[in-house]
Chain A
Amino acid sequence: MTPASVAAEASGRMPPRQATASGPAVTLEDVKVSFGDHVAVRNVTLELAARQVTALVGPSGCGKTTVLRAINRLHDHTGGRVEGKIRLGGVDVYAPDTDPELIRARIGMVFQRPNPFPTMSILDNVTSGLRFNGIRNKAMLREAAESALRHAALWDIVKDRLNQTALRLSGGQQQRLCIARALAIEPDVLLMDEPCSALDPIATAKIEDLITNLASEVTIVLVTHNMFQAARVSDNAAVFLLDEDRVGELVEVGPTVQVFDSPSNERTKQYVTGHVG
């Protein structure tokens, strides 16, 4: 272990990342995503506060995940068309001269079902993002892996079997490995697409703890259909509902407490009380 990693461990922080200092980490301005003729979601104007957890909540099919995947340009490959503006820090994500790879290297993503690379060891899984981005230095990879695994609360469990396949881990551990994999690239933003939907309550609780702890270091966007989960872990909540054309839209955004306790929008109130009450 190097002094740097010891220091990082002692301070409980990852090595210094690119500062996003003040202001929102991500801003979305009048974002609309469509697939062919079908508009999936529109009217999304949203600022994601740096180093806070923002939950995107709402019923199924109202565009939460679609918006999430617009942030790291995953729709580039699935035929989705994104209109409006999305900014990551000061960078226009969809500008013609913006490299999607460079955007994605600043954004980690965790998927609904744990999806560690089945052909890779635990260690290789964690370092895959770094290796994909051209880092080959073994010591550096190893150090980054340890740091990321510690942040994902997985280091003590896997430190003696780093070269084993990731598929022998439990579902919850696999998901934490995927979180470690996403953290290893030291992202500014972590996108989480219903990360607990395939997990049991205990594993879910661990992931939720993790989200709370990580929020001091990375901006987190959490898609969840679970209102309780949103209430437990998020600082801000953005409520998505279907409008009269059955197109998803953002109806309300604000501090989670306010959105859930005293929503200003009538439809939000119905949705929130209908589900929570």
Chain B
Amino acid sequence: MTGADRPAAVPGGALTPDDDSEAGRWGWAAGERRRPIIQAASRRTLRRRRLIGRVGRGLCMLCAAIGLAPLVALVYYTAERGIPGLSVDFFFHAPVPEGIPGGGVSTAISGTARIVGLAIVMAIPVGVLASLFLYERRGRLAGAVRFGADLLTGVPSIVIGIFAYALFVRPLHHFSDVAASFALAVLMLPIMIRANEEAMRSVAVDLWEAGVALGARRSRVARSVVLRGSLPGLVTGNLLAISRGVGETAPLLFTVAAPTFAMTLLIYADGTQPYPDVQQTAWSTALVLLLFVLVLSGAARLVASRLTRRAR
């Protein structure tokens, strides 16, 4: 701020007109006692403040567009390349070796469904109960669990894959869906825990207190007030964690027997082949996977809004 910019520190100094000619325009009534310094400053800086506001708003819109652009481009590109390869056979037939016409990716779709399904069964109960623990307890152990969950979120998925490999595949001497599901569960669990805790914290404290004050045990309040009240958030958080798991490739590299048993592996394997029809399969599979994740996210939102509306 320059010296000329600074309002003179004289109350009632020559910063506002002495007469009431501009009364009303600047928000004071004729004859009303004014606060000249503030109002004069306000008037002088209005143009600048307005400009800053406009520029800021424009920047926000631009960045929002930049954020959205890759999604639109990605969906468009994948759809353009993937749609030609889609057919009924694609969904319901097993893969055939290259050069032979026909065939589909049914094994990969069912494989992914199986692996993710089992991972969900493993992760959701643990996730909900663990986050309930975090919600209920404030002690050092809760802090450690929360910190652990945060760290686990940052562990590269390939490391989790090696972990599952060392834990299951090597000792048992064969690849298995269970190992893959375990790896995905480990990957989804920390996301679920943090999302669940967030959802539970959004239940107002005075609802919790109302439950306790009625003579309910804490466990009952946790079930009937906290879990029930945060259900929309729990569903959304878990579905988003699941859609994260569906798209993972690295943990499956070490645990699934063949690329034809998981969509993401199939995309990688077929996409790096030199044969156009095999590449076509990769694109189409990618499209199916993408749609699946989009539908899952959409479902998350739909279920959440349904549950919220019923609650209202």
Where the two chains meet, the residues of A that have a C-beta atom closer than 8 Å to any C-beta of B are 72, 74, 77, 101-109, 111-113, 115, 117-119, 128-129, 131-133, 165, 167-168, 178, 181-182, 185, 191
Contacts and interface: CB of A to CB of B under 8 A. Distances in A.
A22 B167 CA distance: 70
B216 A115 contact: no
Contacts of B209: 74, 109, 111
Closest 4 CB pairs of A and B: A105-B215, A132-B216, A129-B214, A109-B213
Contacts of A107: 213
Contacts of B206: 111-113, 115
Interface in B78-136: none
B141 to A, nearest CB: 17
Highest count of chain A CB atoms <10 Å: which of B204, B206, B210, B217: B210
B47 to A, nearest CB: 42
A177 to B, nearest CB: 11
B6 interface: no
A101 B210 contact: no
B36 interface: no
B312 interface: yes
Contacts of B216: 101, 129, 132-133
Contacts of B229: 117-119
The range of chain B's interface size is 20 to 34
Contacts of B210: 109, 111, 115, 117, 178, 181
21 contacts: A72-B213, A74-B212, A74-B213, A104-B214, A108-B213, A109-B209, A109-B213, A109-B214, A112-B206, A115-B206, A117-B225, A118-B207, A118-B311, A118-B312, A119-B229, A119-B231, A129-B214, A132-B215, A167-B311, A167-B312, A191-B213
B34 interface: no
Contacts of A74: 209, 212-213
A72 B213 CA distance: 7
B107 to A, nearest CB: 42
* Residue in A74, A77, A105 whose Cβ sees the most chain B Cβ within 10 Å: A77
Interface of B: 204, 206-207, 209-217, 220-221, 224-225, 228-229, 231, 311-312
B200 to A, nearest CB: 13
A90 B212 CA distance: 22
Nearest to B207: A115
A165 B213 contact: no
A118 B308 CA distance: 9
A179 to B, nearest CB: 12
A132 B211 contact: yes
Nearest to B225: A117
A193 to B, nearest CB: 10
A74 B304 CA distance: 32
B220 A132 contact: yes
B225 to A, nearest CB: 6
Contacts of B207: 115, 117-118
Contacts of B212: 74, 77, 104
Given A113-B206, A117-B225, A118-B229, A185 B311 contact: no
B312 A102 contact: no
A106 B213 CA distance: 10
A238 B49 CA distance: 53
Given A111-B210, A165-B311, A165-B312, A119 B215 contact: no
B311 A102 contact: no
